């Protein structure tokens, strides 16, 4: 427990963090990576370069300061982050390193304003928060390892099959190299791939949703190739997977993780909304619902550029055809002439509230969505405009989610 004086001191820094939070976290990562370059084997380099990780950490530190006297209120966020940490291989010995350089960055950026009282209060608070993460993650590591077929950290998987799903998306079917059974997972969860790309000094870790139902003899991920656009460089990992990884190759994989999961106990209708490659966890959820809840109404809404970019369409339509209360709706922002001739979509342009209300038969439902940042912000805003309760809105975003959440408010 933190002392009243420590709590008061931490709360007094909230206005400062609101102004200088991102500057502090930028300096933190710079200092930490200079001293511990081995940590670049864990952190997402793209998120660092784009400033997304720094912004997300600033938001997390700000939230911790705001809620320092009632940390139980941020436990759901702690669990969400802990899932990602377990999937990435974050260990207890990493926390003192982070604490050391976070405090150093606060002092470096704020200068004399960061008094000994403030630094000591943050050191105490960080210790409490770090212990919460360590305890939660220890339990997650234990659960991952002790389940049937489970393991800790990363394990070798063989690419059994590689299937091109669209112009941009390819599926990889992964099976354990040791022939052991696959542990179960919840629809909506993800795995991490740890890759040593030729010519790259550091390993790269990326998280991908599992795109098929649980219970298969494989894990399937469906990966979008991220090509260079303007000043944004091509995605090293996605391009490597598409161009270099072949059937028979071995990849390092973490056990399934994530709290963006289908609530199987709620019997209300389900609405699955996706954009682009964000449909991958939705397909897993749909496939699971078809098997486990054939009487539960499901509306599957997917937005794509056009038919050439639309992955897993036939698979979704086959699943919907086997579910008496399921419906599917396609929205193409720039349909091709062939799409028009084939009447391959239900709406042209972007999702809007009026159209969503017209295709979703029951307002009182559970809503799940996933997709690119702009799409996520748009859908989140539409659902809030429709007065959907926060408890019925669920989403997955690969990267520091708090940054786009703050912008979407």
Active site amino acids? 95, 137
Backbone angles phi, psi at 186, to 5 degrees: -95, 135
Chain CA centroid to CA 107, Å: 32
Residue 156: closest CA among 219, 210, 201: 219
- Distance between CA 3 and CA 126 in Å, rounded? 13
Please state whether beta strands 169-176 and 219-224 pair in parallel, antiparallel, or not at all (unpaired).
Answer: antiparallel
In the numeric block, the tokens 């079917």 are attached to: 173
In the numeric block, the tokens 């022939």 are attached to: 179
Residue 292: closest CA among 227, 213, 194: 213
In the numeric block, the tokens 């994530």 are attached to: 258
In the numeric block, the tokens 């912000």 are attached to: 377
Which residues have CB under 8 Å from 146's CB, separation 6+? none
In degrees, rounded to 5, the angle at the alpha carbon of residue 407 between the alpha carbons of residues 237 and 310 is 45
Backbone angles phi, psi at 145, to 5 degrees: -80, -35
Please state whether beta strands 169-176 and 154-164 pair in parallel, antiparallel, or not at all (unpaired).
Answer: antiparallel
- Give yes or no for a contact between 187 and 211, defined as CB atoms under 8 angstroms apart: no
DSSP assignment string, 136-164: HHHHHHHHHHHSTT--SSEEEEEEEEEEE
DSSP assignment string, 97-137: HHHHHHHHHHHHHHGGGS-HHHHHHHHHHHHHHHHHHHHHH
What is the distance in angstroms between the CA of the first residue and the CA of the last residue of the chain?
A: 32
């Amino acid at each position: 427990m933190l002392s009243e004086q420590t709590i008061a001191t931490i709360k007094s820094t909230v206005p400062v963090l609101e102004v200088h939070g991102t500057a502090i976290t930028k300096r933190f990562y710079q200092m930490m990576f200079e001293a511990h370059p081995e940590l670049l084997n864990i952190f997402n380099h793209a998120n660092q370069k784009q400033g997304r990780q720094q912004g997300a950490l600033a938001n997390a530190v700000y939230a911790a300061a705001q809620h320092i006297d009632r940390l139980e209120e941020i436990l759901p966020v702690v669990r969400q982050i802990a899932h990602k940490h377990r999937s990435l291989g974050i260990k207890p010995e990493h926390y003192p390193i982070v604490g050391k350089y976070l405090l150093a960055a606060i002092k470096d950026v704020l200068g004399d304003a960061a008094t000994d009282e403030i630094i000591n209060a943050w050191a105490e608070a960080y210790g409490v928060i770090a212990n919460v993460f360590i305890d939660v993650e220890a339990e997650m590591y234990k659960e991952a390892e002790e389940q049937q077929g489970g393991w800790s950290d990363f394990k070798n998987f063989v690419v059994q099959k590689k299937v091109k799903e669209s112009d941009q998306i390819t599926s990889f079917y992964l099976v354990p190299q040791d022939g052991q059974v696959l542990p179960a997972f919840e629809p909506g969860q993800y795995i991490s791939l740890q890759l040593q790309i030729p010519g790259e000094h550091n390993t790269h870790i990326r998280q991908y949703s599992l795109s098929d139902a649980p219970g298969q003899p494989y894990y399937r991920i469906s990966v979008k190739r991220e090509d260079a656009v303007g000043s944004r460089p091509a995605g090293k990992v996605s391009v490597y997977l598409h161009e270099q990884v072949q059937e028979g190759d071995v990849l390092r994989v973490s056990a399934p993780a994530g709290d963006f999961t289908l609530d199987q106990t709620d019997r209300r209708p389900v609405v699955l909304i996706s954009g682009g490659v964000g449909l991958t966890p939705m397909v897993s959820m749909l496939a699971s619902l078809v098997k486990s809840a054939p009487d539960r109404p499901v509306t599957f809404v997917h937005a794509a550029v056009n038919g050439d970019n639309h992955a897993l369409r036939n698979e979704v339509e086959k699943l919907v055809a086997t579910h008496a209360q399921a419906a599917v709706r396609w929205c193409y922002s720039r349909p091709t002439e062939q799409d028009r001739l084939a009447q391959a979509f239900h709406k042209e342009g972007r999702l809007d509230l009026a159209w969503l209300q017209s295709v979703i038969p029951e307002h009182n439902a559970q809503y799940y969505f996933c997709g690119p940042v702009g799409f996520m912000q748009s859908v989140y805003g539409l659902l809030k405009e429709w007065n959907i309760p926060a408890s019925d809105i669920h989403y997955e975003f690969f990267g520091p989610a708090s940054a786009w959440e703050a912008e979407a408010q």
